[in-house]
Chains A and B, each alone.
Chain A
Amino acid sequence: MNPKDLPLVHTGTIIEDDPLTLAELCRACGVHADWVISLVEEGIIEPDGKEIHLWHFSGESLVRVRSALRLQRDLGINLAGIGLALDLVEELEKLRTQLNQTENFRKHKA
């Protein structure tokens, strides 16, 4: 569909510029605050701000909370395991990106 055919254009906010409060994060992920707090205590997500009422969360936290929720629900992993899985997946992701770039470059060169 041509974007011009739809009259309304929605403008959003970038949440990295306006990070989420604990309440907003809970609502966005459909989880209880207690559970998010336990993720913070486990070091799985790291908010800015020292005290709970000052906590602010980035988009990265949003992605990690949603992944954590699915991992717990689907695979029955506990918090320590979730933290480990997310860190390993992140590392794997980085390595894959690097590998891709190297491969792309080789193809380019050939």
Chain B
Amino acid sequence: MQYKDYYQVMGLSRDANQDEIKRAYRKLARKYHPDVSKETDAEAKFKELGEAYEVLKDPEKRAAYHQLGANWQTGQDFKPPPNWNEGFEFKGGGFTGSDAADFSDFFEQLFGRTGFHSAHTERHFGEHLRGQDSHAKIHIDLEDSYHGATRTISLSAPEMNAQGQLQVKHRSLNVKIPKGVKPGQHIKLAGQGNPALGSGQAGDLFLEIAFNNHPLYRVSETDVYLDLPITPWEAALGAKIKIPTPEGKVDLKIPPNSRQGGKLRLAGRGLPGKVPGDFYVELQIALPPANTEQAKAVYQNMQQTLDFNPRQTMGG
């Protein structure tokens, strides 16, 4: 088991007063709250913070923590000294902040799992027979939405075992990804949530759909976009070229005098559905480098032949 320096987590010195602890918590909670923060591993940091605050805000727990001494380093292998917490009584006032199920082994060794009253275990009248609904996010590829797919997802959820202890239980589930599903939509799997206490019905599982970043395409609502590099002569003279789409290669006609950034629409080739989205090709004109005498000659020829000033509207 590894020692945790709760003061370091909260950026405080060991003699911080309770007001300073509260202020530091508020400030860091806003910074790392997973619903507002996009810091990398915000969730892990927020949990760590919740655990640190749980100890430091409670004078009893804090005093007990101090008993361990000040010479420990974060991550150092740690065993609590025998009877270290003699004379302390942890009343376990409800966990307000993060979910106690996620507290570290270090915390559990010191303070046990008492006072387990997180929001997770609150239940309403009439609901105590039915298992709770649970939630997860699933990342799929764009192609999965085009063709439909089966994906295996791993879920972990805290669960009470027969001894009344909380354990994290892992399970896998095969889920059908319906064709045409869009980012931000939810798949509801009836009866796949948390099991019931007693003989009631299990809860439902809600899966939020997110798309993995795609190297070629980007998705907006039901439309799919492709940035397509083309040559200046394809843009100027028009061309018929093969382009990739999530459904395979298709022929695309570039009209003559196409402009940089111009958009071409392939109707109905976006995400499938009752009203399918469209596929948009955004033209990106790529200039060949003038790195040989011949190439330079072509550019010089253009310079002499074409009367072209792209800065006309700038008064240049």
Residue with the highest number of chain A CB atoms closer than 10 Å, among B34, B35, B36, B97:
B35
Bound Cα distance A100, B207 (Å): 25
Tell me whether A30 and B132 are in contact in the complex, defined as CB-CB below 8 angstroms, given that A6-B172, A74-B97 are known contacts.
yes
How many B residues face the partner with a CB closer than 8 A? 53
B189 near A10: Cβ-Cβ < 8 Å: yes
Which partner residue on chain B sits nearest A6 by CB separation? B174
Chain B min CB distance to A82 (Å): 10
A100: B residues at CB distance < 8 A: 213
Known contacts: A9-B175, A70-B35, A74-B98. The answer to whether A28 contacts B185 by CB under 8 A is no
A18 to nearest B CB, angstroms?
Answer: 8
| Contact indicator per residue, chain B 190-212, by CB within 8 Å of chain A (1) or not (0) | 10100000000001111110000
Residue of A nearest to B227 (CB): A105
Residues 115-127 of chain B, each 1 if its beta carbon lies under 8 Å from chain A, else 0 = 0000110101001
In contact, A12 and B218 (Cβ under 8 angstroms): no
Evaluate contact between B189 and A70: CB separation under 8 angstroms: no
> Is B186 in the interface zone, CB < 8 Å from A?
yes
* Interface presence of B21 (CB below 8 A): no
- Other-chain contact of A9, B174, B190, B204, B284 (Cβ < 8 Å): B174
CA distance A6 to B151 in the complex (A): 11
Query: Which residues on the B side are within 8 Å of A2 (C-beta)?
Result: 152
Segment at the A interface, from B10-18, B157-165, B176-184, B290-298 = B176-184
B33 close to chain A: CB less than 8 A = yes
Contact of B173 among A10, A63, A85 (CB under 8 A): A10
CA A69 to CA B34, docked complex, whole Å: 12
**B187, CB-defined interface residue at 8 Å:** yes
Say yes or no: B33 contacts A3, CB within 8 Å: no
CB pair B185 A6 closer than 8 Å: no
Q: A1, B176: Cβ atoms under 8 Å?
A: no
How far does the Cβ of A94 sit from chain B's closest Cβ, in whole Å?
10
Report Cα–Cα, A18/B190, bound state, in Å: 13
Return A98 CB to nearest CB of chain B, in Å. Answer: 10
Instruction: Flag whether B91 is at the interface (Cβ < 8 A).
Output: no
| Contact status A27-B127, CB under 8 Å | yes
A73 close to B96 (CB less than 8 A): yes
Assess whether A12 is in contact with B207, with CB atoms less than 8 Å apart: yes
- Asked if A41 CB lies within 8 Å of chain B CBs, one says no
Residues of B within 8 A of A69 (CB): 119
Let me know if A14 and B178 touch, CB within 8 A: yes
Indicate if the CB atoms of A14 and B185 lie closer than 8 Å: yes
Looking at chain A's contact residues, is the secondary structure mostly helix, strand, loop, or mixed? helix
Query: Would you call A62 and B172 a contact (CB within 8 A)?
Result: no
* Docked CA distance A97–B50 (Å): 29
Once A12-B175, A14-B181, A30-B132 are accepted as A-B contacts, the answer to whether A89 and B127 lie under 8 Å apart by CB is no
Is A75's CB under 8 angstroms from B174's CB? no
Tell me the A38-64 residues at the B interface (CB within 8 Å).
Answer: 59-60, 62-63
User: Looking at the complex, which one of A6, A16, A75, A108 makes contact with B33 (CB distance below 8 Å)?
Assistant: A75
B174 and A13 contact, CB distance less than 8 A: no
Chain B CB count within 10 A is highest, among A14, A66, A96, for A14
The answer, yes or no, to whether B150 is at the interface (CB within 8 Å) is yes
A101 at the B interface (CB under 8 A): yes
- CB of A75 within 8 A of CB of B206, answer no
- Indicate whether A10 sits within 8 Å of B175 (C-beta atoms), given known contacts A15-B185, A15-B188: yes
Residues of chain B within 8 A of A108, CB atoms compared: 227
A21 interface residue (CB < 8 Å to B): no
Q: What chain A residues lie within 8 Å of B208 (beta carbons)?
A: 59, 63
Distance between Cα atoms of A10 and B151 in the complex (Å): 10
- Min CB gap B51→A, angstroms: 13
**Chain A residues in the interface with B (C-beta under 8 A):** 1-3, 6, 8-16, 18, 27-30, 32, 59-60, 62-63, 66-67, 69-71, 73-75, 85, 89, 92, 96, 100-101, 104-105, 108-109
26 of the cross-chain contacts (CB-CB < 8 Å) are A3-B174, A9-B150, A9-B176, A10-B174, A11-B176, A12-B178, A15-B206, A16-B182, A30-B119, A30-B132, A59-B208, A60-B184, A62-B206, A63-B184, A74-B29, A74-B33, A74-B46, A74-B50, A74-B97, A75-B29, A85-B35, A85-B36, A89-B35, A96-B38, A100-B213, A104-B213
